[in-house]
Structure 1
Amino acid sequence: MLPLLSQYLPLCREHVALLGADNDGGRKLAQRYGLNFSTCTLTPENYAAKLARHLSGGDVLLNLSLGVGSLDLMAWCREQDVVYIDSNLEPWTGQTHSLALARMHALRWQGHGRATAVFWHGANPGLVTHFLKEVLALLAPGTATCYEAVQALGIQVLVISEFDSRRASMSSAESNHGKTGIQPEFEFSNTLSASGLAGELCASAELAWGTHEGFAPVRAVLRSIGRGLALQLPTSGRATLVRSWTPSAGEFHGYLLGHLESFSMAELLSAPVPNNPIRPTVFYAVKPCFAAEAATRNMTVDVPPSHWRYRVLKDELFDGGIELGVLLLGPHLSYWYGSHLTLSEARRLRRLSTYLSCHLMRTALVLPVACAPD
């Protein structure tokens, strides 16, 4: 993230501060880029006082943490005239929330004359939302709105489809899984935030429910959000498999995870009128890397195991790539539009031995930072 920010924005290093709970890792990162670092563990009781030491009106807070209440930070920034950018929409550690309801709560804070807040503008839903707008303009060029394009194309289902085929040479969870007599190490490895994916897998599976759907599954909860309905399934993401497709992988079964783009895209594709006649079903399906999938099969409860080791794969990666895009489905349409990026190509482009998911997410995150008011 820091290389991209310094590459595209005129940053004054004296005015940039890193805050983090990881004293050793954070301090090394700050020293590498010549920035100030403060050890800072935010809680519901202390976040206001700690943020006030570092931020004032006109500043920008970029939150990339897990387990820190996004809505509370957004409310504080709003009152202090601080631009707020968040790669997620997180509850506090130990708390849970419905993504659909959290999104509705955040949208109630909209108003003129207030500091801007941008949520979840990473790869999902930031980049994939741009994919959706581009493909609708490509397939239905004569339409003026996304809703009109949905009507013209007859789209009933939109799948945010992600397939991660990367392999690691030193992943114990991947290499030991399934071998008789070998107990896998209690480790969750992934190509991006390992603890973040584990949390999403353990959370309830949520999606936007289309108007063409006949009935909801048993014990599922339907909620009215904006112009349609959100469906919260009684199962977690790790226990909910759905079919999806990408060009290289073909058809595959992925985990249905609750993601904000399921609801924001459904709103984008719905007419702003009462009793909206057409609204597609929208959900996010992901097939994680082999190591993460192996670790997921070893999880027995819908809580990320606290005694496990969570590790981000970097230099161990030796093969594969990632496909991320939108899959449009209807009676007369099946169309995928997105990005296919191999590990070797990502390393060639960035000249960094790092994980390419982060390249996609960081690129999307730079956009709202660059567009923030002076």
Structure 2
Amino acid sequence: MAQQAEFTGKILLVGFGSIGQGLLPLLLRHLSISADRISIITADRNGESIAREYGVSHSVNPLTPTNYQEILKPRLKAGDFLVNVSNDVSSFALIELCQRLGVLYLDTCIEPWAGGYVDEALTPDERSNYALREQVLGLRRDLPRGPTAVLTHGANPGLVSHFVKQALLDVARDLQVEADVPTQREGWADLARRLGVKVIHIAERDHQESQPRKQPGEFVNTWSVDGFAGEGCQPAELGWGTHEQQLPPDGQHHAYGCQAAIYLNRPGAATRVRSWTPMAGAYHGFLITHSEAISIADYLTCRNGGQPAYRPTVHYAYHPCDDAVLSLHELAGRNWALQPRKRVVKEDIVSGVDELGVLLMGHGRGAYWYGSRLSIDDARQLAPHNGATGLQVTAAAMAAIDWAIRHPAQGIVEPEDLPFDQILRFSRPYLGEVVAAYTDWTPLQGRGRIFKEDLDTSDCWQFKNFRV
């Protein structure tokens, strides 16, 4: 274990759901900090007993657009660290405040204010992760040299960006492609181009089972229900590769920003895609919007005269636990009105693993999956108040917090800007079995066997047909 990072400030946790509860013991384990220098402000009494267990202050005071500065300013001074693991609190607002106060910052996704995911007054474009990311990147241009603020650094987004870099090096080694370890984004993009990577899936299959099972009128998940339901109701989004020859029928480009992604005029939770993990094999996942689909595609773009010459298609292909799948089906049947009862399972989980990795396709070895296979039993032994899904998030968040404390003046950064080897080395003890596997699977394998399909087989990595 690395030497503890020296930190002289205080830590404020905004939000204390399943991720905040799992992160708290890691903060105390890895930082030279006492419990009286950590405090929690959250919207409800969830996790109060865990805060009491560690002697950490827990305050119920929901943040809103009108009160957040009044509540947070007295609690923060230069050199402190705000860790945002909340729902329904604007990441942009908190980042801007921290930049102006000299406060370090981390979040695990970019959130809007409450209702922003489903605001009927907004267009799908305005409700997209692309729009939220562009807003924060605009702040980076306005405030280029502030305190370190790490955006979207949990498991995914976050850890998977480092998996991608390690996977690229592994494929280069196995294909005997000469490649020094790149130190800049241009080098990573050129490596992906030279390897012929056309598609990257964030391929996750949650195999965990819990008791009691999901009941009608209940949304069950192994991590935040509000967070998952919210992003599931956003439009499906994916980084859009330069090899793609036509948009899906309801695909739309954005008229601004980096131009690395598209969105579909439908919810991600209503869009199924084919993918593969070593344990599950082929599976149907949901094309849930995640910022890593945009940031990885943007980061791996090669340009020629300002125009993109190479970019892979990147998207999330998520099969949550079986009870969460049932919950999504019920949510869709309710026309996206969230069920009246919500249950995040942690102690209720009786068995299973969360299999989370990246699947790189199109290169000379077919497809390569690299990632974490963490069981619930191992997660419970590794860190208190964590499940398998949660620990993959909290370990990566803790790694980024540690890095930010050691590098406190880097301004606003994304996961791709952090050193992949350092983040993986810190996170590795918490990831269970780290698996690397080649496969000859493609999204076209077995298609048209029972019902004939009109498929373009000229390029099997072309991502054109979203129907199942």
- Could you say whether these structures have the same fold, taking a TM-score greater than 0.5 normalized by the shorter chain as the test? yes
1:155 and 1:227 mapped to 2: Cα distance?
20
Structure-to-structure mapping, 1:333-372, within 5 angstroms: 333-350=366-383, 352=384, 354-372=386-404
Question: Match of 1:324, SS?
Answer: strand
Q: CA deviation at 1:223?
A: 1.7
Q: CA deviation at 1:13?
A: 2.4
2:152 and 2:337 mapped to 1: Cα distance?
22
Cα deviation per residue 1:55-92 (whole Å; 9 max; x = unaligned)? Answer: 11111100111011111111111111111111111111
Summarize the Cα distance change of 1:233–1:153 in structure 2 as closer, same or farther, 3 Å threshold: same
Q: CA deviation at 1:15?
A: 2.1
**Other-structure match for 1:180:** none
Question: Match of 1:108, SS?
Answer: helix
Structure 1 residue 106 and structure 2 residue 127: aligned? no
**Structure 1 range deviating more: 64-73 or 101-110:** 101-110
Question: Match of 1:215, SS?
Answer: coil
2:139 and 2:258 mapped to 1: Cα distance?
18
Structure 1 residue 165 and structure 2 residue 197: aligned? no
**Other-structure match for 2:197:** 155
Structure-to-structure mapping, 1:205-354, within 5 angstroms: 205-223=236-254, 228-273=259-304, 274-299=306-331, 300-301=333-334, 303-305=336-338, 307-330=339-362, 332=364, 333-350=366-383, 352=384, 354=386
Which of the residues 91, 97, 119 maps onto 1:70? 91
Matched AA of 1:122: G
Q: CA deviation at 1:12?
A: 2.8
1:354 and 1:76 mapped to 2: Cα distance?
30
2:371 and 2:302 mapped to 1: Cα distance?
25
Matched AA of 1:63: N
Which of the residues 54, 78, 94 maps onto 1:33? 54
1:29 and 1:315 mapped to 2: Cα distance?
14
Q: CA deviation at 1:302?
A: 5.1
2:128 and 2:351 mapped to 1: Cα distance?
36
Which of the residues 56, 64, 71 maps onto 1:50? 71
Question: Match of 1:125, SS?
Answer: coil
Matched AA of 1:52: K
Summarize the Cα distance change of 1:13–1:46 in structure 2 as closer, same or farther, 3 Å threshold: same
Cα deviation per residue 1:235-255 (whole Å; 9 max; x = unaligned)? Answer: 101110000000010000000
Q: CA deviation at 1:359?
A: 0.8
Structure 1 residue 124 and structure 2 residue 145: aligned? no
Q: CA deviation at 1:320?
A: 1.5
Q: CA deviation at 1:199?
A: 1.4
Q: CA deviation at 1:291?
A: 0.6
Matched AA of 1:341: L
Asked whether the 8 Å contact 2:150–2:404 carries over to 1, the reply is: no
Q: CA deviation at 1:225?
A: 6.3
Identity %: 37
Structure-to-structure mapping, 1:134-153, within 5 angstroms: 134-141=166-173, 142-143=178-179, 144=182, 145-153=187-195
Summarize the Cα distance change of 1:358–1:217 in structure 2 as closer, same or farther, 3 Å threshold: same
**Other-structure match for 1:7:** 29
2:359 and 2:213 mapped to 1: Cα distance?
31
2:258 and 2:107 mapped to 1: Cα distance?
24
Asked whether the 8 Å contact 1:227–1:270 carries over to 2, the reply is: no
Structure-to-structure mapping, 1:19-30, within 5 angstroms: 19-23=41-45, 25-30=46-51
Aligned length: 360
Runs of 4+ in 1 over 6 A off after TM superposition: none
Matched AA of 1:106: V
Asked whether the 8 Å contact 1:63–1:86 carries over to 2, the reply is: yes
Asked whether the 8 Å contact 1:161–1:246 carries over to 2, the reply is: yes
Question: Match of 1:233, SS?
Answer: strand
Q: CA deviation at 1:226?
A: 5.6
TM (normalized to structure 1)?
Answer: 0.91
Q: CA deviation at 1:371?
A: 2.3
Question: Match of 1:53, SS?
Answer: helix
1:26 and 1:353 mapped to 2: Cα distance?
10
Q: CA deviation at 1:353?
A: 7.0
Question: CA RMSD of the aligned region, Å?
Answer: 1.8
Asked whether the 8 Å contact 2:239–2:315 carries over to 1, the reply is: yes
TM (normalized to structure 2)?
Answer: 0.73
Q: CA deviation at 1:196?
A: 1.3
Question: Match of 1:277, SS?
Answer: strand
1:285 and 1:302 mapped to 2: Cα distance?
22
Q: CA deviation at 1:211?
A: 0.8
2:79 and 2:380 mapped to 1: Cα distance?
36
Summarize the Cα distance change of 1:345–1:106 in structure 2 as closer, same or farther, 3 Å threshold: same
2:390 and 2:240 mapped to 1: Cα distance?
30
1:302 and 1:146 mapped to 2: Cα distance?
42
